Chain A
């Protein structure tokens, strides 16, 4: 009897152990299943409508096969740094995505959009674990060098784009060893946006020289306004300001900055002179108090709320003229001028800080590479990105836009088109983006210290040398 009970207990224990094991195995398998679902969802964010950075595809694309006989359904993943899909360039991109899906019902485009910093971080994660099919890229060494070295972008055939009207030289930043890996989207121009009505009401005139600009700063300050709203918290706008000054001092930035970066040698006195001019701007009170810790949005709102007379930013903000969120009396009076000449400098008034920055590329590991390139080419048809961009006043394209001029452009658009037509020289890639990403982060953090007087010019240039040293 005892042995029977013992056997029963043993059997019972084994049964429980087996049950526990089975339950554990089931739980683990269930866990694996859940992970897979989550991964799929996050990888194809179009199916997750609650994510703010994710765009639901239009209803007509939900059942693609029904409308397109024979074609295999294809899902393209577009990874972009344009999270605002209702305004500006994000809107243009979304319009083209919707049109492509409508014209190609078998294609579904899943859009994943993040702001610049998050975008670059996730881009890197994707580079390790499979890149989406079409991605936003920057044709600048600080971003593209590492990306091309890693071989994550597919080569494009330059001959395919002969009829696309790209501005000569605009593709150069997207090439390596003569091979093309991406296409430029914009021509970016840096400008001082100013409130023309405020200038006229106060009797101020647009400065013709840098000295006049600094003098004007005092006058504007005395009138109770911020002279120039500067996004100094992020570093890059001030680095472009420095590039602008280098151009006005030297008449050329591309060659001297590339030479300095390649040789890790910033002893050319023009660098120290340009930094000194930046410090002079701080001393003259050109920028708002605390500019070195304030971000893009804060600086822009100072200008769009009428607290600042000027705003130093790129041509991509030309859409301010059409932005209904900005009060009408400010919106309709926004004009732009460009970095004034520096006395004794070699740069002309028509030498401007301009470059081709953002663009698109195709993943080398894309399983639908052919469709991805087809979509890329579709975006760059002159009547798409270029035309829509122009019509919506979102800045200058890297393609010829003259055929889309209607005569009804905003004053800001006319100012930008005039300066690009009259330009005698352009800066090319700004100095912070012209070297490694380490140089970029070094310039962008230390430029705040040097401009506010916490770091000497010598120390600043020494940190650049260190960042460039092999």
Chain B
């Protein structure tokens, strides 16, 4: 068998599918995207090479800046709101045991199994000022007046609530799995030594969850940066550009404004930002581990 694995023909045969997949489904589109980023291609007909013009225009594009800011705001929302709550809920679920543990785990995960289109239309209806659930509840509680949850001032916060709510179950489930993998003997030993719940959480659960947190946080930030479908269906980036996100802006430029070249330039910058963020997060977690 050893000889078989040393056979170059076998080796190349085994890596060929993965290599082809990487070349045609990942590397090829990225190279094409970089290429089109240097053109004035509208998506149809001929095009000209225009050098760095698209990238220079991006630097001056306020809407791109706004979209990037909103994406980073969402990433912060994930980091500071969604994930701390997800860890706490995962810990509580782990302590629940029995039937309740399974029931609540399912309930928290339900938003993740619902289609994004359904989620968007559901929340559109919840936020509707005339017949929406939120305003009906407020009216029932005695508050007068209609709150426009998707107004230019409120929309970004309303969208963040939906996105944080939608991704919560997924983050929570990963943390929950991480907690389940911690050896219960450690908790028993801590209990014998008289450690309280706070100390057990801070000194056993959190340190042993670091690899899980690293993966989860990286995935959350990347998903915040590439957020598109929920925003597109919920607000389309509006009113105005108040809920514009990077990926949505890329789509609008490439396919609605017929600026395919410019859209690809956004895509290239977007990839660079995602890579930069991933490298930065890896460094942060590595340094912490070394400490």
Chain A residues with a Cβ under 8 A of chain B: 9, 13-14, 16-17, 20-21, 24, 27-28, 117, 120-121, 124, 127-128, 146-147, 149-152, 226, 232-235, 288-290, 292-295, 298, 302, 307, 436-438, 440-441, 445-446, 448-449, 452, 454-455
**Across the interface, do A146 and B258 meet the contact criterion of CB distance under 8 Å?**
yes
**Across the interface, do A20 and B14 meet the contact criterion of CB distance under 8 Å?**
yes
| Contact (A128, B43) CB under 8 Å given A24-B16, A290-B129 | yes
| Contact (A124, B44) CB under 8 Å given A437-B258, A452-B152 | yes
**Across the interface, do B236 and A21 meet the contact criterion of CB distance under 8 Å?**
no
| Contact (A438, B152) CB under 8 Å given A13-B7, A24-B16 | no
A438 to B255, CA, bound (A): 10
Chain B residues with a Cβ under 8 A of chain A: 3-4, 7, 9-10, 13-14, 16-17, 42-46, 124, 128-130, 146, 148-153, 155, 235-242, 252, 255-260
Closest beta carbon of chain A to B57's beta carbon, Å = 11
Secondary structure of the A side of the interface?
helix
What B residues does A127 contact at CB under 8 A? 43-45
Partner of A128, one of B13, B44, B153: B44
| Contact (A289, B148) CB under 8 Å given A17-B10, A20-B14 | yes
Closest beta carbon of chain A to B166's beta carbon, Å = 19
Most B C-beta atoms less than 10 A away, residue of A27, A292, A302, A454: A292
Ordered nearest first, which 10 A-B pairs have the shortest CB separation?
A150-B45, A449-B240, A150-B44, A293-B150, A292-B239, A289-B129, A448-B239, A127-B44, A437-B258, A290-B148
Closest beta carbon of chain B to A300's beta carbon, Å = 13
**Across the interface, do B255 and A121 meet the contact criterion of CB distance under 8 Å?**
yes
What A residues does B46 contact at CB under 8 A? 150
A441 to B254, CA, bound (A): 11
Q: List 30 A-B contacts (CB under 8 A).
A: A9-B3, A13-B7, A124-B43, A124-B258, A124-B260, A127-B45, A128-B43, A146-B43, A146-B44, A146-B45, A150-B44, A152-B44, A233-B235, A289-B130, A292-B238, A293-B235, A293-B238, A293-B239, A294-B128, A295-B124, A302-B130, A307-B130, A437-B258, A440-B257, A445-B237, A445-B238, A445-B240, A445-B241, A448-B238, A454-B239
What A residues does B252 contact at CB under 8 A? 441
Closest beta carbon of chain B to A181's beta carbon, Å = 14
**Across the interface, do A448 and B151 meet the contact criterion of CB distance under 8 Å?**
no
Most B C-beta atoms less than 10 A away, residue of A13, A27, A226: A13
Partner of B240, one of A146, A289, A446: A446
Most A C-beta atoms less than 10 A away, residue of B42, B150, B259: B42
**Across the interface, do B129 and A146 meet the contact criterion of CB distance under 8 Å?**
no
What B residues does A13 contact at CB under 8 A? 3-4, 7
**Across the interface, do A449 and B239 meet the contact criterion of CB distance under 8 Å?**
yes
